[in-house]
Structure 1
Amino acid sequence: MKEREKIVATGLTIFMLILWVGFLFHHSAQFAGSLWGGVFALSGALLMLVPLLYMIIKRVKPLKSKVTTYVSMRTLLALHIYAGIVGPILVLLHTGHKFESPLGIALTGLTLVVVISGFVGRYLMGQFSKEIREKKTMLNQLKLIYQQTANKLATQPQQAETIRFFSGFYSRLTAGLFLREETIEENITVSPSLPHNPSGSEIIQLAESIADIEYAIETHEFFKQWFGKWLKFHIVISFVLYGLMILHIWGAVHFGLRWFTPWRSNTSHFARLETASNRNKSKLHFVSERSDEQTLNKVALFETHFNQLFKQYWHTPVFIHGIQTTVFDYAGIANEIDQPRSNLTLALQALEQVSPSRLGGGNREKAFWINVYNIEAMKMVAEKYPVTSITDSKISSGNPWGIQGIRVGEERYGLSQIENKILLKKFNDPRIVFAVSCAAISCPDRLQSIISADQLDSQLDEMIRNLLTNKTKGMIIDRQNKVVTLSWIFKADRRLFGDGSDTGILDFVLRYTSEENRNWMSAHRDTIQLKFFKHDWGLNDLALEDNKTEGNQQK
């Protein structure tokens, strides 16, 4: 690396690290998905492919011979270095310092490691090689002087005997006190030969200098050998980085690019373009005094269409896998996915025009996010229907709750994010876990309409009371053995109920169970043993209803 290249690369690397540390002072939740965020991401990703291209050219001899007729490997190496630093800088700018997803954090961290390992490894390896060459040159000069000194001492037995006295380790430390001091360096710089009879001090310094340089060379050789493995390490983590980058790009495309409307059909495509155009026009006339009213109007529009969708496909309780549960006609909901004027499409379009920061808090915001969670779960199932569960591999290979499958305003949200980072974090209401539905048989039964801000508390209480009267998934009391079996939700989210102990769970249940059950449980609360139903993740789909004979047997 030439000196100028080294200075530029060092400056860019330092700038990259400073840029990364900026997350302590800056955070933009929307920039990564914006148009400019996408431009930075695409530009950075393309530049990060240059080192891969360099590695291929370097190792494929036919390709190397053709390319080097036009561009030297030295120039390609410089491009590799600059692109390998500028690309990550653009990628860091793309993040907007929003480090939330495990994949995004891993990708950012590994990007920094790859850049730093590449820069430090190359610089240190070059520095070690240079120092080894210099020290070997100096060692050869000293050995020449040593040989001349040995020849002269052979003719001066008295001086040789004097010096032999200081050959031990501790005695050599005191040699400077008894022997005349002259420096070997003076002789090296003047001539590799001795211009005079060597003094005792000079001879001892000569031996020590040779020993020091030999030790330094061995140390540098060791580090050079160790750094010889650096290249393999650098290549391996680079390929891991490319793998994570591919996953990140796939996820962005799969779950929707906010600055690029995915094409589904001609009709839905133009409908979305019209919606985006109207949204942009409304921004031109946006004033803060009307923003809350506008947001609430869009929320009301969303709730109207979602409620119509909900009521149309909601069905009274049936038995599935022997569990009594309310169900939905997901086949019907799936048919609404690509319909530009369906309630599902219109509800989702209304959500895209809602500004979450202007919801105003309270029951209005709580009800809104519960409904967003529930329509997202419906949408995830409907998009991949037919499926047997929200955990079906057609929906996700492992974590459907992490999929950011719905857009609210300029952001995309996942089920886990809505439940834990918004609803529970902001409202700290344990009843929320009974209201958000993952479309499973064992989830609490849905009421006949969506959650309403005006009736929020009564609806939440009713859902919990209904669950505790359902003996197939909610609660069974075995008075004889003093065992109370409760919904799996109480086990999974026990931290939300009081102090998370069995007593905390019982105290919560006492508020919603019948007076008879409450009296008995209060009298035996210290001896009651809690058990929990096994959670059935099967889809609460009308099409999966048990046959009538099986249903009657279960009843």
Structure 2
Amino acid sequence: MKTIFNLATILFLAFSLQSCNLLSAAGVSSQGQPTKEVQSELTSTTANSAVNVEHSQWDKLLKKHVDSEGMVDYKGFKKDEAKLDEYLNMLSEKKPTDDWSVQELLAYYINLYNAATVKLIVENYPVKSIKDIDGAWTKGRVAVGDKMLSLGGIENGILRKMNEPRIHFTINCASISCPKLLDEAYTAAKINEQLDRATKEFINSDKNDISPQTPQVSSIFDWYQKDFKVNGKQDVIGFINRYANTKINSEASLSYKSYNWELNEQN
């Protein structure tokens, strides 16, 4: 009987650990990472944080290997893989805490996600799509201190919990239909302006076909529709209209464009 009890205990613990890992990968858990919420209008500043992270190394790599359309020279990144590793190692050693400002945290996790995604492609290059890589978003592959975070965990367990829907247009999933990879690093000193730029550029790009009556928009607005709020209430059309050059009638029905998961690689 004791043997059966011990075996049952071991199986329960094993299942619990596996469940925790799956929940973290799916984004239910932040794995102990700080997730401060943007409480009001976000301002760009470095003055309210215990730490100011230096992202110049990532900035140089982006300027070198990403064009104005957000297309990526992965062959070039592969040649500079050692520098990419240096940057990711630096981020890993920083170990974010609640003493960091919301501006620093946003810039840190956005850059971490994007740099780790480029690293994932470089490790598996040549590859036609990130979806061809096993566990691209669910495997713990991004080191932060003694934790191994998944890309899905960074997006859903950390960034989406920060009450800043513009993050959806800053993180790049290495695919044609994704918001473009910005050719500069995000920083606390410019974070609000950068979030605005990324959102406006995406909404007014060919990723959406916006018209007053028959708008066809990115599937991002379908997958994450509960994140897009106006005055505290879910309002996808209202959110889009804040940034769109062409306004959608509030009574219009949205349809969604199919997503192109081909690699966002420069020709």
Q: TM-score, normalised by structure 1?
A: 0.40
| Aligned position for 2:140 | 404
| Aligned position for 1:249 | none
Higher relative contact order, structure no. (Cα contacts within 8 Å, ≥ 6 residues apart): 2
The gaps in structure 2 that reach 5 residues or longer are: 25-48
Secondary structure of the residue that 1:306 maps to in structure 2?
A: helix
Deviations 1:112-151 (A, max 9, x none): xxxxxxxxxxxxxxxxxxxxxxxxxxxxxxxxxxxxxxxx
1:433 matches 2:168: yes
| Aligned position for 1:57 | none
Q: Look at both structures and tell me which one has the larger radius of gyration over its CA atoms.
A: 1
- Partner amino acid for 1:334? K
Q: CA RMSD in A?
A: 3.0
2:5 pairs with one of 5, 8, 13: 13
Whole-angstrom distance in 1 between the partners of 2:15 and 2:187: 36
- Partner amino acid for 1:329? D
| Aligned position for 1:484 | 215
Secondary structure of the residue that 1:402 maps to in structure 2?
A: coil
Structure 1's 316 and 371: CA in aligned 2 closer, same or farther, altered over 3 A? same
Whole-angstrom distance in 1 between the partners of 2:254 and 2:109: 31
Secondary structure of the residue that 2:68 maps to in structure 1?
A: strand
Structure 1's 98 and 390: CA in aligned 2 closer, same or farther, altered over 3 A? closer
Secondary structure of the residue that 1:412 maps to in structure 2?
A: strand
Deviations 1:194-252 (A, max 9, x none): xxxxxxxxxxxxxxxxxxxxxxxxxxxxxxxxxxxxxxxxxxxxxxxxxxxxxxxxxxx
Equivalences for residues 122-521 of structure 1 within 5 A:
296=51, 299-300=53-54, 303-317=55-69, 326-337=70-81, 342-357=82-97, 360-392=100-132, 395-396=133-134, 399-425=135-161, 427-470=162-205, 472-477=206-211, 479=212, 482-498=213-229, 504-514=235-245, 517-518=246-247, 521=248
- For the 8 Å contact 1:446–1:463, the answer to whether it is kept is no
1:100 matches 2:20: yes
Secondary structure of the residue that 2:148 maps to in structure 1?
A: strand
Q: TM-score, normalised by structure 2?
A: 0.80
- For the 8 Å contact 1:329–1:541, the answer to whether it is kept is yes
Structure 1's 345 and 359: CA in aligned 2 closer, same or farther, altered over 3 A? farther
- Partner amino acid for 2:130? I
Secondary structure of the residue that 1:376 maps to in structure 2?
A: helix
State percent identity of aligned pairs.
Answer: 28
Count of matched residue pairs: 241
Structure 1's 336 and 414: CA in aligned 2 closer, same or farther, altered over 3 A? same
Secondary structure of the residue that 1:101 maps to in structure 2?
A: helix
- For the 8 Å contact 2:170–2:180, the answer to whether it is kept is no
- For the 8 Å contact 2:200–2:244, the answer to whether it is kept is yes
- Partner amino acid for 1:316? S
Whole-angstrom distance in 1 between the partners of 2:105 and 2:15: 28
2:250 pairs with one of 497, 519, 525: 525
Whole-angstrom distance in 1 between the partners of 2:91 and 2:15: 24
Task: Give 1:405 deviation, angstroms.
Answer: 1.5
Structure 1's 535 and 359: CA in aligned 2 closer, same or farther, altered over 3 A? farther
Q: Which protein has the bigger helix share? A: 1
- For the 8 Å contact 2:171–2:181, the answer to whether it is kept is no
- Partner amino acid for 1:333? F
Structure 1's 498 and 358: CA in aligned 2 closer, same or farther, altered over 3 A? closer
Structure 1's 346 and 13: CA in aligned 2 closer, same or farther, altered over 3 A? same
Secondary structure of the residue that 2:113 maps to in structure 1?
A: helix
